[in-house]
């Protein structure tokens, strides 16, 4: 299987494991701080956000396990949950521009554009590994990438002709003999 890269340097599997590890650390720390701060007398929004962080923690664990066990179906929950951030950014941006709320659109660009782009890139890296694992499971060969634009170069060499055509004099002589034998 051809290995793609994450950030142009890291092999794809190691990059996806790194993404899962970073999300595991972030979500684990967030859940831990919320539990440590006390969960009694909180509003409903707190519990919804806490549940969302717990589900993201579980999705990061499933992503790491899926990479280690080469089970691409375990990537799907992570992809579905993680793609929500860039999708909601785009929905908010379009609705802000549609209703001519330029101040809200500028605020979105300033505060949420970079995290949404980074999250979208991470989703594309995980999806690339998912597709490569699917192609590998289907038996397709993915040609290895090489440096300096030499990937997928095809060399062809025309075969040597086995029999050369007869010369002119040989053809004329054969034709004369054929005519004399026919008459």
Grade residue 167 by pLDDT with cuts at 50, 70 and 90: confident
Q: How deeply is 59 buried, as exposed, middle or buried, from its count of CB atoms within 10 A (0-12, 13-18, 19+)?
A: buried
Q: Does the residue 172 lie in any domain?
A: no
Q: Give the torsion through C-alpha atoms of 125, 131, 137, 140, to 10 deg.
A: -120
**Alpha helices, H only, 40-101:** 44-69, 76-82, 84-98
Domain that holds residue 29: 5-138
Summarised one tens digit per residue, pLDDT across range 59-110 is 999 999 999 999 999 999 999 999 999 999 999 999 999 999 999 999 999 9
* pTM, rounded to two decimals: 0.70
Q: Does the residue 84 lie in any domain?
A: yes
Grade residue 36 by pLDDT with cuts at 50, 70 and 90: confident
Q: Does the residue 152 lie in any domain?
A: no
For the cut 70, the answer to whether the pLDDT of residue 151 exceeds it is no
Q: Does the residue 177 lie in any domain?
A: no
Count how many domains the chain has. 1
């Amino acid at each position: 299987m051809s290995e793609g890269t994450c950030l142009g340097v890291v092999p794809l599997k190691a990059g996806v494991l790194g993404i899962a590890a970073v999300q595991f650390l972030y979500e684990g720390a967030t859940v831990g701080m919320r539990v440590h701060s006390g969960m009694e007398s909180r509003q409903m929004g707190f519990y919804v956000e806490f549940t969302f962080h717990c589900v993201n923690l579980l999705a990061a664990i499933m992503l790491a396990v899926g990479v280690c066990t080469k089970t691409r179906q375990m990537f799907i929950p992570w992809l579905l949950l993680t793609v929500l951030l860039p999708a909601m950014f785009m929905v908010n941006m379009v609705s802000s521009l549609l209703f001519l709320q330029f101040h809200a659109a500028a605020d979105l660009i300033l505060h949420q554009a970079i995290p949404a782009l980074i999250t979208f890139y991470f989703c594309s890296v995980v999806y690339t590994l998912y597709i490569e694992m699917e192609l590998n499971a289907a038996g397709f060969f993915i040609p290895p990438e090489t440096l300096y634009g030499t990937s997928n170069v095809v060399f062809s060499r025309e075969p040597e002709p086995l029999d050369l055509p007869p010369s002119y004099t040989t053809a004329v002589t054969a034709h004369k003999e054929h005519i004399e034998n026919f008459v």
